[in-house]
């Protein structure tokens, strides 16, 4: 069992338009309301890959109640920490012609230190019965980046394997507390290191190894359609998925993380875990919604995903 913690959940309103043209009145061809937030997408991906995951995080207000109802309808186990403020929404616009996805995230609720204390208690209780805890996404307003670092430390003391997928100051603080695994994309890694950009495999490997020097055992860096690299104490690998017709990229990084966590918990060696993660992330882009790919889509992509060890 895996617990996915999403401090800043969101209700995704996914609109598909024939073509996104700035400054024009558009009509969507379909609308999907989906409970979102990075950790929820991770849990959904784990479930679709045959694993078990439980959601945790803050919810509040009408939007929060609707979010919880939709999660329940998907038969995803969840234990929410309720707050007085309203859960945020996100507008996701998918260009049907190009496959490009535009996301407008609301700022989200303001959370108090007392709320965070309650969330920590809830997460620690859930962590007693699981093998891994994923901390995913941004922190809501009212909380400093040190809160992520504190939670990582507490979970480390409880001897739980902690995975972090965040950005900015929250990511930097969490890394200093040495979680078991850090998963970042090229933009997040560049910001963490103060580099200008990370656009190719060789630079990604260099970045992953540099981050790893902070005392971390495993770093995974995703590069979108180019694939992903993994740096661990045993070496570095590069996984490359096949070329696909992209429908929607929302949640592909989260699906990647779900595939990675599950593979490692199933005792897969590093290169195979990376290959399965890359396949999950790519399969996710074949449909609309984070983690909503099918097992058949995953197996089809996996059969064409390659991995090689890097010097």
Mean pLDDT of the 144-153 span: 94
Could you tell me the two tokens for 45? 């991906």
What local confidence, expressed as pLDDT, does residue 257 receive?
98
Its CATH class, for the domain covering 2-310, is alpha beta
Is the pLDDT at 136 greater than 80? The verdict is yes
**Does 213 have pLDDT greater than 90?**
no
Write out pLDDT tens, residues 60-72.
999 999 999 999 9
Strand 228-232 and strand 235-240: the pairing is antiparallel
Q: How do the domains of the chain map onto residue ranges?
A: 2-310
The overall average pLDDT reported for the chain is 94
Pairing state between β 88-95 and 218-222: unpaired
Nearest to 278 by CA among 308, 244, 252, 247: 252
Q: What is the pLDDT of residue 99?
A: 80
Name the pLDDT band for 24 (thresholds 50, 70, 90).
confident
- Provide the pLDDT confidence category of residue 105 given band limits of 50, 70 and 90: very high
d(CA 154, CA 205): 30
Which pLDDT band holds residue 21 (cuts at 50, 70, 90)?
A: confident
CA dist., res. 303 & res. 148, Å (int): 37
Predicted local confidence at residue 43, as pLDDT: 98
Residue 158: left if φ>0, alpha if ψ -120 to 50, beta else—which one? alpha
pTM over 0.75? The answer is: yes
Long-range contacts of 177-180 (CB under 8 A, 24+ apart): 177/148, 177/149, 177/150, 177/152, 177/153, 178/152, 178/214, 178/215, 178/216, 179/135, 179/152, 179/216, 180/132, 180/217, 180/218
Q: Are 244 and 282 in contact (CB under 8 A)?
A: yes
């Amino acid at each position: 069992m895996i617990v996915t913690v999403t401090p800043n959940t969101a209700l995704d309103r996914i609109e598909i338009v024939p073509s996104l043209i700035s400054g024009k009145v558009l009509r969507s061809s379909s609308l999907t309301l989906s409970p979102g937030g990075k950790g929820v997408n991770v849990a959904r991906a784990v479930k679709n890959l045959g694993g078990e995951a439980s959601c945790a995080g803050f919810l509040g207000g009408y939007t929060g109640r609707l979010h919880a109802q939709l999660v329940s309808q998907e038969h995803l186990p969840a234990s929410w920490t309720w707050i007085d403020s309203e859960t945020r929404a996100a507008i996701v616009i998918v260009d049907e012609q190009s496959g490009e996805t535009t996301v407008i995230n609301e700022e989200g609720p303001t959370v108090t230190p007392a709320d965070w204390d309650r969330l920590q208690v809830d997460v620690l209780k859930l962590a007693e019965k699981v093998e891994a805890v994923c901390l995913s996404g941004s922190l809501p307003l009212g909380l400093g980046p040190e809160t992520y670092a504190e939670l990582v430390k507490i979970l480390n003391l409880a001897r739980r394997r902690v995975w972090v997928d965040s950005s900015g100051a929250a990511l930097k603080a969490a890394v200093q507390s040495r979680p078991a695994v850090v998963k970042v994309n090229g933009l997040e890694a560049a910001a963490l290191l103060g580099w200008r950009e990370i656009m190719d495999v060789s630079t990604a490997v260099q970045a992953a190894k540099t981050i790893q020097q902070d005392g971390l055992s495993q770093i995974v860096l995703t590069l979108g359609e180019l694939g992903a690299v993994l740096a661990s104490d045993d070496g570095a690998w590069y996984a490359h998925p096949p070329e696909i017709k992209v429908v929607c990229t929302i949640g592909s990084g989260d699906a990647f993380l779900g595939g990675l966590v599950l593979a490692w918990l199933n005792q897969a060696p590093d290169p195979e875990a990376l290959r399965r993660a890359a396949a999950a992330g790519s399969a996710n882009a074949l449909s609309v919604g984070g983690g909503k790919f099918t097992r058949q889509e995953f197996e089809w992509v996996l059969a064409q995903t390659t991995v090689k060890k890097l010097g």
